[in-house]
Amino acid sequence: MPELPEVETMRRGALPVVGAVVTGIARPACHLRPISVSPRLSSFARRVVGTRIRQLDRRGKRLLVWLDSDCAIVFEPRMTGLVLLSDPPSLDHLRLRLDLGESAVPHLWYWDRRGLGSIRLLDRRQVEQQLGSPHLGPDALTLDVGRLRERLGARRTPLKVALLDQSALAGVGNLYASEILHVARIHPQTRCDSLTAGQWRRLATSLHDVLEEAIRYEGSTLADGTYRTVLNNPGGYQNRHRVYDRAGQPCPTCGKSTVRRIVQAQRSTFFCPLCQRAK
């Protein structure tokens, strides 16, 4: 968390900063675990202050703020990072502030409760080297059924585990993998190389449908309340989860079975044994 829908929500919410000039950069005092900022702040500031924000982009689970210097500030939220325009959830966890001029938005903040995220300033060549193939696969929202099968079809691993491989397809994490497989009616332990043509079609459809629906509802704010939109509002998609974190509860799809939890690759997987029958 955050996954593709949450980071895309951040990107869309932060669009008002496009056209702004970066007038300053600072790391607010924080006694907690420091996040990784590269290069060091003095060099970062020299290269950023005075530049204009040209566009916002997303690579998988990362937000890229492109500057007119053809460099990008890359925010990688990891578990608890947020990009904010106002009203941070708390002052203790503020990690970086960009001061903006010629903009209705005075600041862009990076907030991170656990401090696992990172901020990097990369030129275009470095972006492609570090966030392109083979390190990062194509964005999950760009894959049709043919490309999806091409990326995963020869694998002998369980499909749920394969969906989490960012080098195969970028953006899907643990939460949305469970939701996608439930909508596709595929058991999470099904091996990739055993899927039928019909299952591949259902998987490709549910991949797009679930992610796009989650974006419309501005992502998922879980019980810990960490994820917030750029204006510090909760997401809404958690109210539409079908199986994620619903172990022991009735399946909302069939109403005849209960959601189960198993562990795959050290991650929790949730599914309905009736809707998602194992072979």
Of 2, 5, 77, 188, which is the active-site residue?
Answer: 2
- 2 in active site: yes
Burial of 171 (0-12, 13-18, 19+ CB in 10 A): buried
CA distances (Å), origin 238, targets 25, 66, 79, 119, 233: 34, 31, 17, 27, 13
Long-range contacts of 252-259 (CB under 8 A, 24+ apart): 253/182
Of 11, 58, 59, 61, which is the active-site residue?
Answer: 61
- Residues 114 and 79: beta-carbon distance below 8 Å: yes
- 12 in active site: no
Burial 41-65 (b: 16+ CB within 10 A, else e): eeebbebbeebbbeebebbbbbbbb
Of 3, 76, 179, 218, which is the active-site residue?
Answer: 3
Of 106, 213, 267, 273, which is the active-site residue?
Answer: 267
- Residues 38 and 54: beta-carbon distance below 8 Å: no
- 279 in active site: no
Residues carrying an active site annotation? 2-3, 61, 267
